[in-house]
Structure 1
Amino acid sequence: MLGYQKMVNDAQQKIQGFQNEIAKMLKAQFKVGTIGDVAELERWQGDLANILEPVEEIMREVSARPTGISQYWFMNALDQCTEALNDLGELLAQVQNYLDQNPQDTAAQALVKTIGAKQTQISGLLKDLAVVEIDGAVLTELQQIDDLMSNAVILLNQQIDSYNTQVAGADAERRLSASLAVLRDFSKARRLFLNAQRLYDSIMRSTAGQKFRTAEQEEMMALFDRIQNIYHQVGIGAELLESRLNDLESQLGQFLSR
């Protein structure tokens, strides 16, 4: 009887030992979070959605309108994305701290990966949203050049149209004066155009590599296109301009030989 009792006790101890071992294995491999843990994870997932909401709105906006958005919108979008990155960093620290204490929690693992992926995505978006700001003074200057060019071209064409009638049968002094007037107006128009071109080229070089074009950049491009068209409409062909220069050179030679 005593031998049987000992055998039962030994069996019970072994069974208890197996149960304890199995419980440890289950706890290690199939850890189930407590109600508090689940609630915390759900809260973090909600925080993630709130952080990403303005970023997703930005992405929708630039996808719908890749050009023509104000540069000030881009500045605000950069601020929002930077703020989102900071918030994601804080959220990641909280989840990572929890995961360090609960390394087998697959939901927390997935959340850490998601946050990391979103950080990478927003970092790339920050680069895409970086645009060159166009100072309002630049647009004003180009508009002024546009107006001056229009007036200069009108005067130049008037000089060209009346040149032949003005100098017909005139003396050398009048021909010289008329030639100088044509060249002076052409020089003025050319000088204005070159000023606009230098200003435009310097800014466009700085925008190289931009993914998006702002409304201000498009306005600047439109202004320069108009200036370029006006200049090309001057109405002086290369042969005509060359003839004026040759005529002027000849007249100057005559004056100098007197």
Structure 2
Amino acid sequence: MQWVKDFYSRTGSWWGPAEARISERDHQRLSLLHAHLGTEPAQVLELGAGYGSTAAVTAQAGHAVTAIEISDRADFAEELTIDAPGGSLTFIKDDFYSVDLPRQFDVVCYWDGFGVGSDADQRRLLRRIATQWLRPGGTALIDVFNPFVWAQWDGDEEHRTPNPDLGYEHELFERVTFDPVTCTATDTWWDAARPDEKISQRLRCYTPADLALLLAGTQLELATITAGDLTFEATRRPEDSGLLRRHASYLAILRLGPPVKD
């Protein structure tokens, strides 16, 4: 999946000067981690860590964080500093499908990235989480793209003008398409100065029921779902979760169960 490294490196060069900093979103993610796992110091693995800002906030809260990012967005993490008793941040620029990690973790986080690649890629990643990275009784927090919302965006286009004062130097265009057969969104971007050099990311979207099927054969079990401010059990229909119209992704809380018998 060479396109993954290329897409996030290119867009990171566009947005990094503006967005490679700690924001409210990073603190919201830390709050979700604490809501589902408590505030005691933990060994945390973050996959697809981007610029590293969420990993930095997590480390500043006292956790020992290992963050992995394949693209050049990882280069921005060199500017992050951690000053917290007990907290630490180790940033690795590598492919999390092949990287060799020498230890296990209490929690694995994958914010805003699951669904890149095929179903087979997602299963391979889930098996690595279950069999190599999570300690017994561990938890994975995984953002999942919501097909109900991405389908509504099919054919939408946006024009983003430069704002140098905020660090946005490029005039950009974006177009989203959605394939209802494969439940895959294609998010295409191009610089107005280079309209023939379009780049795209392809995002496989999963309903909670689809995700549960994807987990079959792993030790991971879908325990609860968080959509916006509402958390509910995966086995019941919420009164109003916003899954149909408001939230482009939802947080799946996966618990590591007993080993799967052959």
TM-score interval (norm. to shorter): under 0.3
**Normalized per residue, which structure has more helix?**
1
Looking at secondary structure, tell me which structure has more strand per residue: 2
TM-score normalized with structure 1 length: 0.18
